[in-house]
Structure 1
Amino acid sequence: MATPRTATTFAPPVMEARRWLAEASLPAGMELINVSQAAPVDPPPEALRQEIARIALEEPQAHLYGPVLGLPALREEIAAQWLTAYGGEIGASRVAVTSGCNEAFCATIATLLAEGDEVLLPVPWYFNHKMALDMIGGRAVALPTDDQMLPDVAAAASLITDRTRAIALVSPNNPTGVEYPPALIGAFFDLCQARGVTLILDETYRDFHSSSAAPHDLFTRPDWDQTLVQLYSFSKAYRLTGHRVGAMVASPKRLAEVEKYLDTVTICPAQIGQFAALWGMQNLGQWLAGERDEILARGRAIRDGFAPLADRGWLLRGAGAYFAYLDHPFDAPSDQIAQRLVGEAGILMLPGTMFTPEGDADGQRQMRVAFANLDAAGIGQFVERLAGFGG
C-alpha cells in the first residue's frame, strides 16, 4: 500500500513544542518565556481593528467570494509599493494575493514540480517548506550554509540535476535571522537563470530588514519574471496572522497556473483580511516604520547582551528580523536541551533538529530564538535564565 502524502513528513514543530509545554511543570513562580513561534502575539493596532469592524459592517463584498487571485485594489497597491521599494517592472498582473505566505509557497511548487522533482533548500531550512515538498511528492535537497549561515552559489550549482526545479531562499532568514546580501541574492538569480530553474525568494520579513535600501535588484533585471517568484506575508507587518493574507509576485503565465491551485484549495483569500491589508498599506506606513525600529532594537539587544551566554560557551550564529540562531555548549542534542529548558528554565524555544535533515550534526547543537515578542527587559530575563541553565 502506498504511503499517504501527509505521512511522508513530520509533525508540525510548533505543535510539538506546545506538547512539551503541556507535559512540563514550570519552576514555581516562574512565568514562561515563549520564543518558539515567529508570530506577533498582539492584535493589529487599534485603528486597523476599527477599520476591520467597519469593513465587516459596511462592506457587503467582504463577506462574499472574491477573485481567486485577490482583491484588484490590493494587487494594484502591492505592485505600486513594490515598484517604489525595488524599482523595475512590476504591475498588478504579476501579483497574486494568497491565504498567507505558506499557501503562496505551496501554490508555487504545485506549478513547478512533478513526482520526484527537487528543490534546493539552504540548511537550516524553514520547516514548512520541507513539509510542503514532502507532501507534494517533491524532494528537498539540503544546501549547506557557511559559518555566517549563508548559502554558497558554487555549492548550489554542484547540486543542480535534471530534476531540479527551484532554489528557495528566505531573507531575512527564518530560522537564522541572517540577511542575505544583495550580491548573493543576485548571484543565485544568475545561477537559476543560467540553469533554467526558478528562484523562489521568500521575503516574509522584508519589513524588518536592517537596511532601508532595496534588499536586491532582481525586479530591475530583464525578463526577471521568467526566473523569479517572490513571496510575502502581511502577518508580520500588520499583525494580521489570523486573517491569513500573503502575496506572490511572478509572471502572468505562472499566476495562471497558480490560479488553478488557489481556486481548488481556498477559492479566494479571506476578504476581510484583504481589505484590512489594503487599508494598512495605505494608512499605516509611519506605524510600520515604528514597528521596524522596535524589532531592530530588539535584535541589537540580543547581540549587545549576549556576553553572559558567550562566557558559558553559547555561540551567536545570526540575529536579525524576528530571530536569533545559537549553538549550545552541551553534549546532549538540541531537541533534548529544548525539552529540558521548559521545565528547568521556563523557556520554550525550538531546537535546530526541527530545521535540519534527520541526524544532521549541526542541527543537534543549534537552537532558534524567535525574540520579536520580547521587549528589552524580556530579552535580559531570557539571557539570564539561559545563562543559568546547566545543560
Structure 2
Amino acid sequence: MSAKPNSLVTHLSPPPIPSVHAWSRDYKGDRGPLIDLSQAVPGYPAHPAMLKLLGEAAASPAMTGYGPIEGEDVLRSTYALHMNEVYETSVHSANIHITAGCNQAFMCAAIALAGAGDTIALTNPFYFNHDTTLSMLGIKRTLVQCDAAHGFLPDLASAERALAAGAKAIAIVTPNNPTGAIYPAALLHELFALCRHHNAWLILDETYRDFLPEDYGRPHGLLSEPGWEETLVLLYSFSKSFCIPGHRLGAITAGPRLIEEIAKIMDNMQICAPRSAQVAVAAAIPLLADWRAGNRQEIGRRAQALRRVMADLPGWEIGALGAYFAFIRHPFSDLSSSSVAERLAKQAGVVSIPGSYFGKGQEQFLRLAFANAETASISLLGERLR
C-alpha cells in the first residue's frame, strides 16, 4: 500500500486557467487572431519607467538579502499615504503588510482569522482561488448568495444567516471577480455592520479598485469607522495597476495587532515579498499616477466597447460588468457553461471561463476578462459569438 498525498489538495480540480487555454490549442485561426479573455492580465505593457525602476532595484546588491517580514519600510509608508488619498482617511505604515501577490494576502488573512474546521463565507459566485485556498486549509465554506436579477450584489439576509451560523468572516471582492459587479459603499457599510454585530471579520479584496469608473470617488468610508481595525481587513494587488503580475506583489491593510499575527504566517510562508519590486513600486506610486489614471480611462473604453457588442447580440445578456470583468449570460440553455466555453475557444477563437468554475448555479454564464483586449479586438466578438 503506497503513501498518499494530502486529501485536502488531491480532491481539488486542476488550475482552471491552463484547462481553458488547452481548448484554444485546437483553434485553427479561421476566424482571425485568438482573443484571450480568460486570465485577468493587463492588456498593455508596463510603463518604461516601471521597467527601469525594476531593473535598477534588481541590480542592487542590497536587494539580494532578506528584507523585513512586513515589507520594505519605503513601500509600507508610501502605500499608506496613497491609501489616505484614496479613502480620505488616516492609516499608517503599521497598518500595512506587503505580500507576494493578493492570493497570498488572502491566504495569510484566512490563516490569521480562522482555523481548520472554522467557517468563512464567500459570495456565490466566488473567486475560485479563494474557494480552493479555504479547501486546502481545512476551513469550511458557506455561501452568501448574489442574485443575478439584482446585478450579482450580495444578499444581506443571506449574509446574516451565514454569520448567525458562526462564520468567522465574510470575504468579498469588489469590483467583483468574476462578475465585475461594483458593490456600492452603502452595501459595504451594511456588510461591515453585520460583521461587527456578530464579532466577525469583513475581508475586502480590492484587487481591481484602481479601475472603478473615473468619477466614482472614494470606494467606501470603512477606514473612517471608529475601531475599524477590529472588523476590517483590506486586500490589494499592485499587479494590474502597474502591469507587473510576474513580480507578485500585494498588500494587506489591517489593525497593527492583526499585522503582527500575519507576520508570523509570512515568516513561515515566504519570509518577505520580492524586495526589488517593492522598492520599484514605492517610487512608481507617485511617479506613474497620471499613467495609471489614463489606463483607468482606457479600461472604461473597453467596457463600453463590450457593452456596444452585447447590445447587438440577440440572446446574449450582460449579468454584470465593471472594472476588469463581465459575467455574460449565454443563450444555450441546453448546454453547460463548460461546453459553451470549449466551443467558443475551439471554433471561434474566444477564450473565456465557464460560469460553473465560480460556483453552483452559474451554468448559464461565462466570465469575460475584457480588460485583456484592445477595443478593436472586442469589436470582433459580436461576429464570433454569433
TM-score grouping bracket, smaller chain normalisation: over 0.9
Q: Kindly state the Cα deviation for residue 83 of structure 1 after the two structures are TM-superposed.
A: 1.0
In structure 2, how many angstroms separate the alpha carbons of the residues matched to 1:230 and 1:87? Answer: 15
Residue pair 1:20, 1:342 contacting (<8 A) in 2 also: yes
In structure 2, how many angstroms separate the alpha carbons of the residues matched to 1:13 and 1:56? Answer: 32
Q: Kindly state the Cα deviation for residue 39 of structure 1 after the two structures are TM-superposed.
A: 1.2
In structure 2, how many angstroms separate the alpha carbons of the residues matched to 1:162 and 1:170? Answer: 22
* Alignment-derived partner of residue 363 in structure 2: 364
In structure 2, how many angstroms separate the alpha carbons of the residues matched to 1:156 and 1:29? Answer: 45
* Alignment-derived partner of residue 30 in structure 1: 32
Residue pair 1:26, 1:32 contacting (<8 A) in 2 also: no
In structure 1, how many angstroms separate the alpha carbons of the residues matched to 2:36 and 2:220? Answer: 33
Q: Kindly state the Cα deviation for residue 227 of structure 1 after the two structures are TM-superposed.
A: 0.2
* Alignment-derived partner of residue 166 in structure 1: 169
In structure 2, how many angstroms separate the alpha carbons of the residues matched to 1:21 and 1:2? Answer: 31
In structure 2, how many angstroms separate the alpha carbons of the residues matched to 1:19 and 1:140? Answer: 29
In structure 2, how many angstroms separate the alpha carbons of the residues matched to 1:216 and 1:63? Answer: 38
In structure 2, how many angstroms separate the alpha carbons of the residues matched to 1:28 and 1:89? Answer: 55
In structure 2, how many angstroms separate the alpha carbons of the residues matched to 1:337 and 1:103? Answer: 32
- Taking a change above 3 Å as real, the CA distance of residues 342 and 162 of structure 1, as seen in their structure-2 partners, is closer
- Map 1:93-104; keep pairs closer than 5 Å: 93-104=94-105
- Map 1:299-338; keep pairs closer than 5 Å: 299-309=303-313, 311=314, 313-330=315-332, 331-338=334-341
Q: Kindly state the Cα deviation for residue 30 of structure 1 after the two structures are TM-superposed.
A: 2.8
Letter in 1 for 2:139: G
Residue pair 1:88, 1:221 contacting (<8 A) in 2 also: no
* Alignment-derived partner of residue 122 in structure 1: 123
* Alignment-derived partner of residue 54 in structure 1: 56
Q: Kindly state the Cα deviation for residue 35 of structure 1 after the two structures are TM-superposed.
A: 0.3
SS at match of 1:317: strand
* Alignment-derived partner of residue 264 in structure 2: 260
Q: Deviations over 1:231-270 (max 9, x none)?
A: 0000000001000000000011111111111111111000
Q: Deviations over 1:266-325 (max 9, x none)?
A: 11000111112112102000000000000011111111332222x2x1110111111111
* Alignment-derived partner of residue 137 in structure 2: 136
The counterpart of 1:228, out of the listed 202, 224, 232, is 232
* Alignment-derived partner of residue 378 in structure 1: 377
Identity of aligned residues (%): 37
The counterpart of 1:184, out of the listed 184, 187, 198, is 187
Q: Deviations over 1:33-92 (max 9, x none)?
A: 1000111154411111112222223x3222221001100010001111111211233111
The counterpart of 1:201, out of the listed 200, 204, 228, is 204
SS at match of 2:226: coil
Letter in 1 for 2:261: E
Q: Deviations over 1:160-209 (max 9, x none)?
A: 24541100110101111111000000100000001010000000000001
CA RMSD of aligned residues (A): 1.5
In structure 1, how many angstroms separate the alpha carbons of the residues matched to 2:112 and 2:58? Answer: 34
Runs of 4+ in 1 over 6 A off after TM superposition: none
SS at match of 2:160: helix
Residue pair 2:179, 2:325 contacting (<8 A) in 1 also: yes
In structure 1, how many angstroms separate the alpha carbons of the residues matched to 2:201 and 2:247? Answer: 29
- What's the TM-score once normalised by structure 2's chain length? 0.95
- Map 1:69-80; keep pairs closer than 5 Å: 69-80=70-81
In structure 1, how many angstroms separate the alpha carbons of the residues matched to 2:48 and 2:163? Answer: 48
* Alignment-derived partner of residue 345 in structure 2: 342
Letter in 1 for 2:184: P
Letter in 1 for 2:276: I
What residue ranges of structure 2 are gaps of 5+ in the alignment? none
* Alignment-derived partner of residue 284 in structure 2: 280
What residue ranges of structure 1 are gaps of 5+ in the alignment? none
SS at match of 2:367: strand
In structure 2, how many angstroms separate the alpha carbons of the residues matched to 1:303 and 1:25? Answer: 26
- Map 1:241-256; keep pairs closer than 5 Å: 241-256=245-260
Structure 2 residue 46 is matched with structure 1 residue 44: yes
In structure 1, how many angstroms separate the alpha carbons of the residues matched to 2:120 and 2:288? Answer: 36
Residue pair 1:99, 1:246 contacting (<8 A) in 2 also: yes
In structure 1, how many angstroms separate the alpha carbons of the residues matched to 2:278 and 2:287? Answer: 14
Larger CA deviation: 287-296 vs 155-164: 155-164
Q: Kindly state the Cα deviation for residue 212 of structure 1 after the two structures are TM-superposed.
A: 3.8
SS at match of 1:326: strand
Letter in 2 for 1:352: G
SS at match of 2:142: strand
* Alignment-derived partner of residue 110 in structure 2: 109
Larger CA deviation: 108-117 vs 234-243: 108-117
Residue pair 2:24, 2:349 contacting (<8 A) in 1 also: no
Q: Kindly state the Cα deviation for residue 8 of structure 1 after the two structures are TM-superposed.
A: 3.5
